[in-house]
């Protein structure tokens, strides 16, 4: 399944001859130190994220092996034009002075990337040099999200646990295990006052339907939202059906259409706003043919109006 994780740390790095040698392993033609701009990124760590998930250290180590050579983009859209940077080195950095919230040694995946120091890249280079905070994300696929309590795939095969909930004093974590591929990393400039958004898109690639995708996510709030949307969509469908029926009725009544099957076919092909326009046109014609207010009705209404309002007051 595919996961995205975001962090918000990157900084400028100096180029040493050793670094340049590594960079040139990926360059089509040898580059000089003047032609490249290098920077580092904290891509992910082993702390629990907002979704109650984390990369255990072995997963960070596997990602570290997969990262070199991958290209970075300036947003999540995957087109060649915005693949502007490439990772040439990665390292799992452990910080013995710091612990995760679940009591393990803190570790993070740091990557070094380069981009060509060209005019086209000028703006993003200036932003990195200027220390503008960046949202950095990694998109990768992992074999499984394992429950930290029962070691089964979370939410599946009888695992009753929910990420982020406490069971006998232990918070259930989704362990992102066995990374298989890093398919994207990216960064976008964000205003410095904005809190770093931690965003992750869970996207099991083998889900056949959206419903399955939602169910497999194991997120109860997603399932509740999905059910709500499904009910509302059903009501919407029923409403559109009723409008279609009304359009057919009005079409025949107006004399503008003579055959209900042809009209049903036509109505079936229209989108909602077209359907409403047709309904309005038919209504107008029907109103002309059959004025909605008879003289008698109008008179009786005017009579009602003349009744003093005070009469209704208690």
Query: Contact residues for Zn ion (CB under 5 A)?
Result: 147, 149-150, 159, 161
Kindly report the length of the chain.
314
Comparison of 112 and 202: residue with beta carbon closer to Zn ion: 202
Comparison of 149 and 223: residue with beta carbon closer to Zn ion: 149
- Position of minimal CB gap to Zn ion: 147
**CA angle (88, 98, 143) in 5-degree steps:** 55
Residue 43 and residue 111 in contact, taking contact as beta carbons nearer than 8 Å = yes
Comparison of 149 and 266: residue with beta carbon closer to Zn ion: 149
* Shortest separation between residue 53's beta carbon and Zn ion, angstroms: 13
* Shortest separation between residue 54's beta carbon and Zn ion, angstroms: 15
CA 223 to CA 211: how far, in whole Å? 9
* Shortest separation between residue 272's beta carbon and Zn ion, angstroms: 44
CA 40 to CA 108: how far, in whole Å? 12
Comparison of 1 and 248: residue with beta carbon closer to Zn ion: 1
Burial of residue 167, with CB atoms counted within 10 A of its CB: 0-12 exposed, 13-18 middle, 19 or more buried: middle
* Shortest separation between residue 158's beta carbon and Zn ion, angstroms: 8
Helix (H) or strand (E) holding 272: helix 272-289
Comparison of 16 and 170: residue with beta carbon closer to Zn ion: 170
CA 229 to CA 212: how far, in whole Å? 15
CA 310 to CA 314: how far, in whole Å? 8
Give the number of C-alpha atoms closer than 13 A to the C-alpha of residue 159, restricted to the C-beta side. Answer: 21
* Shortest separation between residue 4's beta carbon and Zn ion, angstroms: 23
Q: Per residue in 42-68, is it b (16+ CB within 10 Å) or e — as a string?
A: bbbbbbbbebbbbbbbebbbbbbebbb
* Shortest separation between residue 159's beta carbon and Zn ion, angstroms: 3
Comparison of 125 and 176: residue with beta carbon closer to Zn ion: 176
DSSP secondary structure, 72-123, as one string: EESSS---GGGEEEEEEEEEEEEEEEEE-TTSSEEEEEEEEEEEE--STTHH
* Shortest separation between residue 218's beta carbon and Zn ion, angstroms: 10
Comparison of 178 and 241: residue with beta carbon closer to Zn ion: 178
């Amino acid at each position: 399944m595919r996961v995205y994780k975001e962090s918000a740390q990157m900084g400028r790095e100096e180029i040493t001859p050793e670094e340049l040698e590594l960079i040139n392993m990926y360059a089509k033609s040898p580059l000089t130190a003047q032609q490249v701009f290098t920077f580092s990124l904290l891509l992910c760590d082993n702390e629990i994220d907002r979704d109650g998930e984390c990369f255990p250290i072995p997963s960070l180590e596997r990602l570290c092996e997969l990262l070199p050579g991958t290209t970075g983009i300036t947003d999540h859209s995957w087109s060649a034009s915005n693949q502007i940077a490439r990772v040439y080195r990665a390292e799992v950095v452990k910080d013995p002075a710091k612990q995760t919230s679940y009591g393990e040694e803190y570790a993070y995946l740091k990557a070094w990337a380069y981009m060509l120091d060209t005019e086209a890249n000028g703006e993003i280079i200036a932003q990195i040099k200027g220390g503008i905070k960046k949202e950095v994300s990694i998109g990768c696929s992992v074999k499984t999200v394992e429950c930290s309590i029962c070691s089964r795939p979370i939410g599946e095969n009888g695992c009753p646990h929910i990420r982020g909930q406490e069971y006998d004093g232990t918070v259930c974590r989704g362990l992102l295990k066995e990374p298989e591929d890093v398919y994207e990393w990216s960064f976008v400039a964000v205003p410095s006052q904005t809190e770093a958004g931690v965003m992750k898109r869970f996207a099991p690639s083998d889900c056949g339907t959206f419903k399955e995708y939602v169910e497999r996510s194991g997120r109860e709030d997603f399932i509740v939202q999905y059910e709500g949307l499904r009910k509302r969509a059903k009501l919407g469908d029923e409403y559109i059906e009723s409008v279609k029926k009304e359009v057919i009725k009005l079409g025949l009544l107006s004399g503008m259409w003579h055959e209900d099957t042809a009209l049903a076919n036509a109505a079936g092909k229209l989108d909602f706003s077209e359907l409403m326009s047709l309904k309005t046109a038919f209504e107008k014609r029907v109103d002309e043919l059959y004025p909605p207010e008879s003289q008698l009705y109008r008179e009786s209404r005017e009579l009602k109006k003349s009744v003093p309002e005070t009469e209704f007051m208690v």
